[in-house]
Copies of this chain bind each other. A is one copy, B any other.
Amino acid sequence: MIIVLKSDATQAQIDHIVERITKLGLKPLVSKGVERTIIGVIGPEDILRVTPLEVFPGVENVMPVLTPYKLAARDFKTEGTTIKLGGNLVIGARKVIVMAGPCAIENLDNLYEIAKAVKKAGATVLRGGAFKPRTSPYSFQGLGEEGLKYLSQVGKELGLATVTEVMDTRDIALVERYADILQIGARNMQNFNLLKEVGLTKKPILLKRGLSSTIKDLLMSAEYVLSGGNLNLMLCERGIRTFEDSTRNTLDISAVPVIKQLSHLPVIIDPSHAAGKWNLVSPLAKAGVAAGCDGLIIEVHSHPEEALSDGAQSLLPEKFSELMQELRILAKAVGREL
């Protein structure tokens, strides 16, 4: 922690700060420059983080030196985390994992039809929402447990792992029973109770970045899950909120290499939610793979015109299949496979 003092800070103010830091068991180092005095603090920064040094008289600015996350940090674990699903499926290894399926699970037949198509095209994880976070109380809210059953049944029958969102602490046990990967949605990225409790499960977690969350915020939320004991965590970039309105959100493609530098956790790209338009999904998926992501999660619907949710951003199965072929070539060109 570096404490920058005001140009007119008095000696008494400096002494007061030094005394307080010493009392906390840390070691202050005062350096007087021409224009400013600076106090460096040596010792565990966490103790200081909860002390509001900014309000001490004479303080202008406080600059943390260490990252506030620990378990999520690359410093903590140099090698990339790999997450094993059933079969030979590993997330975070050479193979880029593709998760695909409808936004919402609507009925068994439709899910089965879509699942068969995405499996054929090469997807290995089936996505589908049973609990849907909808902006409007008047929109379709998902089938709930019935949807989970369909997902599990279709996944088993076709040999696909499954991923679905859990929105409520009360539903964790239920979702855990049916799905292989538990998704925490963007709107719940800072629902800290939910994070804590999925951190107590054994299931792999897919944590989506919030619309206005920095990468640091995302890693802090990751810390909630990891500190609960669940290390099977992957992070998902799905677009952030900006002033640009030609896409629903702005896919922050830099998040891929930045997270890879700061953390050991696998990174998934969601081009469907970022773009909000099916005809942008393909270029964004390719950009994700080229930038080094470990997986993609893509919305596919066999009848987008009839979809109960997010039809506008769903790929038709044949478009998805084309994309998979293109991605296969692309993945090889960047030293991965699909």
Contact = CB atoms under 8 A, between A and B. Distances in A.
A309 B50 CA distance: 7
A250 B167 CA distance: 29
A227 B135 CA distance: 13
A279 B254 contact: no
Interface stretch (A90-98, A108-116, A256-264): A256-264
Contacts of A174: none
A76 to B, nearest CB: 10
A224 B137 contact: yes
A94 to B, nearest CB: 16
A286 to B, nearest CB: 4
Interface in A165-194: 167-170, 187-188, 190-193
Contact of A250 (B31, B135, B138, B250): B250
Contacts of A210: 212
Nearest to A133: B192
Interface string A52-96: 101110000101011011000001000000000000000000000
Contacts of A235: none
Interface residues of A, number: 110
Interface in A122-144: 133-140
A14 interface: no
Nearest to A285: B290
Contact of A52 (B66, B283, B312): B312
Contacts of A243: 212, 214, 240-243
A52 to B, nearest CB: 3
A254 B274 contact: yes
A88 to B, nearest CB: 25
Contacts of A286: 290-291, 334
Contacts of A220: 135-136
Contacts of A43: 33-34
A49 interface: yes
B188 A212 contact: no
Contact of A135 (B42, B190, B274): B190
A256 to B, nearest CB: 6
Nearest to A259: B246
Interface string A129-162: 0000111111110000000000000000000000
B214 A211 contact: no
Interface string A205-227: 00000111011110011011001
Contacts of A56: 305
Contacts of A254: 244, 246-247, 250-251, 274-275, 280, 283-284
13 contacts: A49-B139, A50-B140, A51-B305, A51-B311, A54-B312, A55-B305, A169-B170, A212-B212, A215-B244, A250-B254, A257-B280, A329-B333, A332-B333
